[in-house]
Amino acid sequence: MFANLLSNAVEAMPAGGTIILRSSPLDSGVAVFVEDSGPGISPEMQPELFRPFVTGKRSGLGLGLALSRQTMMDFGGDLTAKAPLNGSGACFCVYFSKIRQQTPA
């Protein structure tokens, strides 16, 4: 999943740019942010971003974000996109929920 997010960020910045990875502890888990300084996500693409077979690229199947989000949701987490703090580029938030340990029977 992180490989997909980082690959997307690099592809969005063919002339170079900045990628920032940061994390934030939460009471319910941890959030990891992948932020780039590319052109951002168009308003038209934002509602379609996690739908299978939707892509803004010239190549690719449009499955990376959809599969990554479904994987996170299957394990109690999530993958979302939001406006980055600096106002340009794209920012994805990967949310990992705390693992609840089961007590032995």
Residues of the chain with pLDDT under 70: 85-87, 100-105
Place of tokens 């992948």: 34
Q: What is the pLDDT of residue 85?
A: 67
Q: What is the pLDDT of residue 20?
A: 95
Q: What is the pLDDT of residue 102?
A: 66
Domain 2-97 has CATH 3.30.565.10: yes
Q: What is the pLDDT of residue 105?
A: 63
